Amino acid sequence: MAVRIGQPAPRIEAVAYQRGKDGPVKINLEDYKGQWVVLFFYPLDFSPVCPIDMQRFAEEAKAFEKEKAAIIGASPDSMEAHRVFFSTDERLKDVHYPVIADRNQEVSRSFGVLIEEKGITHRGTFIIDPEGVVRYISISEPGIGRSVSETLRNLQALRTGKLCPAEWTPAKATIN
Q: Average pLDDT in the 162-169 region?
A: 94
Instruction: Report H helices in 92-169.
Output: 106-110, 148-160
pLDDT given at position 1: 56
Q: What is the pLDDT of residues 23-75, one digit of tens each?
A: 999 999 999 999 999 999 999 999 999 999 999 999 999 999 999 999 999 99
Task: Return the H-helix or E-strand segment holding 63.
Answer: helix 61-66
Active-site option among 38, 50, 101, 107: 50
Q: 13-160: what CATH class? A: alpha beta
For residue 126, give the 3-state DSSP assignment: strand
To the query of whether residue 50 is one of the catalytic residues in this protein, the response is yes
Measured N-to-C along each axis, helices 50-59 and 148-160 cross at an angle, to the nearest 10 degrees, of 50
R_g of the chain computed on alpha carbons:
16
Model pLDDT for residues 96-128, shown as the tens digit of each residue: 999 999 999 999 999 999 999 999 999 999 999
**Region 8-30: what's the mean pLDDT?**
94
For the chain, what are the domain ranges?
13-160
